[in-house]
Amino acid sequence: MWPQINRVASIFFIHSLARAGIPPYLGALMSSIIHLDQLEKVYRSAEEPVYAVRSVTLDIQQGEFVAIMGTSGSGKSTLMNILGCLDRPTGGSYQLDGVEVSSLSRNQLSDLRNRKIGFIFQNFNLLSRTTALENVELPMLYRRSAMSRREQRDKAMKMLDLVGIGKRAYHTPNQLSGGQQQRVAIARALINDPVLLLADESTGNLDTRTSIEILGIFQRLNDAGITIVMVTHENDVAQYARRIIVMRDGRIRSDTPVTQRLNAEEELKNLPAVDAA
Amino acid sequence: MRFFTTLFTAFRALRRNKMRSLLTALGIIIGVAAVIAMVGIGNGAKKQVEDQVASMGDNVIMVFSGSSSRGGMHGGSGSAGTLTIDDANAIAREVPTVEAVTPEVEGSTRISYGNQNWSTRLNGVSADYFKVRSWTFSQGTPFEERDVSAVAKVALIGRTVSTQLFGSDEEALGKTVRIKHVPFTIIGVLGPKGASFFGRDQDDTIVIPYTSAMKRLLGIKTIPRITLSVERGKSLAPVQQQITELLLQRHNIANERDADFSVRTQEEMARMATATSSIMTTLLGFVASISLIVGGIGIMNIMLVSVTERTREIGIRLAIGARGSDILLQFLIEAITLSLLGGMIGVALAFGVAELVREFTEMPVLITAGPVMYSFGFSAAVGILFGFYPARKAASVDPIEALRYE
């Protein structure tokens, strides 16, 4: 049931299911979204080959919320780029939602990113001087779907409402706060109903309260069945995920479930109510 | 991405940098305006010549008396005096489709009226002359065949002469002027024709019957030139050939190479005159085209800067699923839009320049569809050509690098 919902049903349906309290970990019983087998990334342009990622084998199932941790140079960014189909591995195999990525062309990678992956970046990466609504519409414009402009606009609007920023649809990024910009970025990431949400240090530029709010959105989306992979170097942030993978020197050092998971809603209540975000 | 959306995106990117877009397009604007204006001026000059040919009549053939070459001395055309009135009559009589024939004798003369006098060109012609040369009449009527046979002392004057001697065409009518002490009555004033393609003021003339000119004033028996017109719609070449044959026979000349006369159509003479201005037009257009290319290089330069500046934007677009071709198209359309907009403004500017030139100079400017379309198409081609390299550079950006770009 979950895979169909994830792909076909509108985000509202997912949302209502989440509110109905259907257990999301059922997704774990389903197919793997990410399957890495002996994945390797070597840069050979230098005099000595640099191993960014060495022989990583990993499975991430439908509905998981994974935090990838590691110091800089641990290979987590490279792994992230490969998971996001921005880069191709030099060895091993990577299957995203059943598609072997390592042999795809540049254009095929573009299409894959467009349809299957939603990116959320540390610095939001919204198009400046372009309204929130248009930023959210952008992935649909590259989708080559038969959707009319009107339908696209409606869908983008609904998506902005979902992340709680519908009222600011016609604001440009420089008129929005960091938290608001990140919400727009989340709406953009979700617009093409991706199978995987990739968050790269997505709370790195935000204050504590806003960070928790964004993590709360992630948790809600994950509860609704969306698979999330989040790269972070902050242990606090990682505690909101369900599973933590720690990388070092291009290898997976540990892969553990989160035992004492933080809940964003509760954490927000515990925050001293100094200034409302 | 849909083409229309890409177009819209490109438009918006250009609108955001209005000043830069305008300055970038300036090269194309000036280039297009230059091409159109230059070719316009060249064509204007050509048209002027053609109009003058038309004012002479495009169905006109001239027979010139052969050049004299006695003792190695070469005179000009007509100097030998090999043509006679009989030749003119024979042509009128024997060559079909010839509409009107006039002998023409010429000389410069001084005419006086009261205490005024004026140096002008004297033309001795038959009554058919006015038909051959399509003269109109500002005042009065032309002389007739019986004035010619009567060796009448009647004259028609051009606009320049009437202005110089009488002040106006109306004043001139009926007055008597003296040409070499011989009194001539002015029976008409010719309508203005302007300068000929040889630069001569056609209105600075006095026209009298050729008989009067030959017997009373010039004292000559031969005529330097016969001018004739062919019926409308009939081709000139066979007539030209028949005249040649007729005159060869009349002059007892066996070989055409030895002919003591030459037969020229107005068109042949005009072609010689327009050849120069055609070369000038081509040259001007060519030089102006170079400025279009320079304009294109300007666009390429700015597009390259723009691609670097917007590396992050490209990275974002690639990350959310734009293909390289989408990015390529976006930047290519931007460049083409720039050059086309420049082209449009350039066309408008060219019309403005043409107006100014007409306003402040005597030069005629003729803007035709040809150069407008050529320069417009050229500017589009320049946009594609010089937009392609920056666009390809944009499309080949590595998304990871681009997203990291500050």
**For B31-59, how does the pLDDT look when each residue is reduced to its tens digit (9 = 90+)?**
889 888 888 888 888 887 777 666 666 68
Residues of B in contact with A86 (CB under 8 A): 318-319, 399-400, 403
Q: What is the mean pLDDT of the segment spanning B363-368?
A: 82
Domain ranges of chain A: 2-33+62-90+104-260
Give the Cα separation of B211 and A263 in Å (integer): 123
Q: How many CB atoms lie within 10 A of CB B62?
A: 19
Most confident range (mean pLDDT) of A22-26, A118-122, B195-199 is A118-122
Q: What is the mean pLDDT of the segment spanning B90-106?
A: 89
Q: What is the mean pLDDT of the segment spanning B304-313?
A: 93
Q: A262: which 2 tokens?
A: 């933080």
Q: B99: which 2 tokens?
A: 């509409």
Q: How far, rounded to the nearest angstrom, does the alpha carbon of residue A75 sit from its chain's CA centroid?
A: 18
Average pLDDT, rounded, for chain A: 86
Q: Is the pLDDT of residue A274 over 70?
A: no
B267-272: long-range contacts (C-beta < 8 A, 24 or more apart)? B267/B53, B267/B58, B267/B236, B269/B53, B269/B62, B269/B197, B270/B49, B270/B50, B270/B52, B270/B53, B270/B197
Those residues with Cβ within 8 angstroms of residue A116's Cβ, 6 or more apart along the chain or in another chain: A85, A96, A97, A99, A194, A195, A196
Q: CB distance from B2 to chain A under 8 Å?
A: yes
Residues of A in contact with B323 (CB under 8 A): 106-107, 110-111, 142
HSE-CB for A232 with a 13 A CA cutoff: 24
B321 contacts A107? CB cut-off 8 A: no
Cβ pair B365, B17 in contact under 8 A: no
Nearest to A107 among B16, B324, B400 (CB): B324
pLDDT of residue A28: 41
Q: Is the pLDDT of residue A2 over 60?
A: no
Give the Cα separation of A128 and A59 in Å (integer): 36
Element (H, E) at A198: strand A196-200
Q: What is the largest CA-CA distance in chain B?
A: 103
pLDDT of residue A216: 95
Give the Cα separation of A66 and A198 in Å (integer): 10
pLDDT of residue A277: 46
Task: Report DSSP letters for B68-88, one per residue.
Answer: P-GGG----TTTT--B-HHHH
B1 contacts A142? CB cut-off 8 A: yes
Interhelix angle B324-360/B18-56, nearest 10 degrees: 50
Residues of A in contact with B5 (CB under 8 A): 141
Over residues B325-341, the pLDDT tens digits come to 989 999 999 999 889 88
Residues of A in contact with B325 (CB under 8 A): 107
Q: Is the pLDDT of residue B309 over 70?
A: yes
Cβ pair A238, A272 in contact under 8 A: no
Total length of chain A:
277
Angle (CA) B40 B42 B47, round 5° = 90
pLDDT of residue A113: 95
Q: How confident is the model at residue B196 (pLDDT cuts 50, 70, 90)?
A: low
Q: How confident is the model at residue A50 (pLDDT cuts 50, 70, 90)?
A: confident
Over residues B249-261, the pLDDT tens digits come to 888 888 887 788 8
Nearest to B326 among A125, A127, A142 (CB): A142
Lowest mean pLDDT among A23-32, B17-26, B273-282: A23-32
Give the Cα separation of A267 and A261 in Å (integer): 11
B5 contacts A141? CB cut-off 8 A: yes
Task: Report the relative pairing of strands A117-120 and B98-113 from DSSP bridges.
Answer: unpaired
Give the Cα separation of B357 and A132 in Å (integer): 52
Q: CB distance from B313 to chain A under 8 Å?
A: yes
A84 contacts B321? CB cut-off 8 A: no
Average pLDDT, rounded, for chain B: 85
B322 contacts A110? CB cut-off 8 A: yes
Q: CB distance from A107 to chain B under 8 Å?
A: yes
Q: Is the pLDDT of residue A20 over 70?
A: no
Give backbone dihedrals phi and psi of A271, rounded to 5 degrees, phi first.
Answer: -65, 140
Total length of chain B:
406
Task: Report DSSP letters for B279-340, one per residue.
Answer: HHHHHHHHHHHHHHHHHHHHHHHHHHHHHHHTHHHHHHHHHTT--HHHHHHHHHHHHHHHHH
Q: What is the mean pLDDT of the segment spanning B109-122?
A: 89
Q: What is the mean pLDDT of the segment spanning B262-277?
A: 77
Cβ pair A219, A198 in contact under 8 A: no
B399 contacts A142? CB cut-off 8 A: no
Alpha helices for A21-124 (secondary structure H): 76-83, 106-116
Q: What is the mean pLDDT of the segment spanning B237-246?
A: 89
Give the Cα separation of B11 and B376 in Å (integer): 19
Q: CB distance from A194 to chain B under 8 Å?
A: no
Q: CB distance from A172 to chain B under 8 Å?
A: no
pLDDT of residue B233: 77
Lowest mean pLDDT among A60-74, A78-92, B198-212, B381-395: B198-212
Give the Cα separation of A53 and A64 in Å (integer): 22
Q: What is the mean pLDDT of the segment spanning B97-122?
A: 89
Q: CB distance from B191 to chain A under 8 Å?
A: no
Q: How confident is the model at residue A23 (pLDDT cuts 50, 70, 90)?
A: very low
pLDDT of residue A4: 38
Over residues A175-231, the pLDDT tens digits come to 999 999 999 999 999 999 999 999 999 998 899 999 999 999 999 999 999 999 999
Specify the DSSP class assigned to residue B270: H
Residues of A in contact with B322 (CB under 8 A): 110, 114, 142
Query: Scanning every residue of chain B, which has its alpha carbon at the shortest distance from the alpha carbon of A191?
Result: B320
Q: What is the mean pLDDT of the segment spanning B276-283?
A: 81
Higher pLDDT: B45 or A168? It is: A168
How many CB pairs below 8 A link A and B? 59
Q: Is the pLDDT of residue A59 over 90?
A: yes
Residues of B in contact with A115 (CB under 8 A): 321
Using alpha carbons, select from B167, B147, B146 the residue that is nearest to residue B155: B147
Q: Is the pLDDT of residue A9 over 50?
A: no
Give backbone dihedrals phi and psi of B396, rounded to 5 degrees, phi first.
Answer: -95, 10
Task: Report DSSP letters for B123-138, one per residue.
Answer: EEE-TTHHHHTT--EE
In the sheet that A65-69 helps form, which strands lie side by side, from edge to edge? A117-120, A196-200, A227-231, A65-69, A243-248, A251-257
Give the Cα separation of B51 and B221 in Å (integer): 34
Q: Is the pLDDT of residue A114 over 90?
A: yes
Q: Is the pLDDT of residue B194 over 90?
A: no
Q: CB distance from B18 to chain A under 8 Å?
A: no
Nearest to A87 among B16, B312, B400 (CB): B400
Helix/strand/coil for A128: coil
For chain B, percent helix, then strand, then coil, each to nearest 5? 60, 20, 25
Using alpha carbons, select from B100, B83, B103 the residue that is nearest to residue B92: B100
Residues of A in contact with B399 (CB under 8 A): 86
Q: CB distance from A121 to chain B under 8 Å?
A: yes
β-bridge mates for residue A247, sequence order: A252
Using alpha carbons, select from B126, B98, B51, B46 the residue that is nearest to residue B241: B98
B326 contacts A81? CB cut-off 8 A: no
Interhelix angle B311-319/B324-360, nearest 10 degrees: 140
Structure ipTM: 0.86
Which residues of chain A from 230 to 269 reach within 8 Å of chain B, CB to CB? none
Fold of A2-33+62-90+104-260: Rossmann fold (3.40.50)
Over residues B139-155, the pLDDT tens digits come to 888 888 899 889 999 99
Q: How far, rounded to the nearest angstrom, does the alpha carbon of residue A50 sit from its chain's CA centroid?
A: 27
Q: How far, rounded to the nearest angstrom, does the alpha carbon of residue B180 sit from its chain's CA centroid?
A: 39
B313 contacts A107? CB cut-off 8 A: no
Give the distance from residue A107's alpha carbon to the nearest chain B alpha carbon, in angstroms: 5
B400 contacts A125? CB cut-off 8 A: no
Q: What is the mean pLDDT of the segment spanning B225-241?
A: 86
Q: Is the pLDDT of residue A27 over 60?
A: no
Give the distance from residue B307's alpha carbon to the nearest chain A alpha carbon, in angstroms: 15
Burial of residue B200, with CB atoms counted within 10 A of its CB: 0-12 exposed, 13-18 middle, 19 or more buried = exposed
Q: Is the pLDDT of residue B297 over 60?
A: yes
Residue B251 is which amino acid? Answer: H
A84 contacts B16? CB cut-off 8 A: no
**Which of B12, B317, B320 is most worth mutating to test chain A (most A CB atoms within 10 A of its CB)?**
B320
Alpha helices for A70-206 (secondary structure H): 76-83, 106-116, 132-141, 149-162, 178-190
Residue B227 is which amino acid? Answer: T
Cβ pair B173, B189 in contact under 8 A: yes
Q: B19: which 2 tokens?
A: 């000043």
Q: B406: which 2 tokens?
A: 């500050």
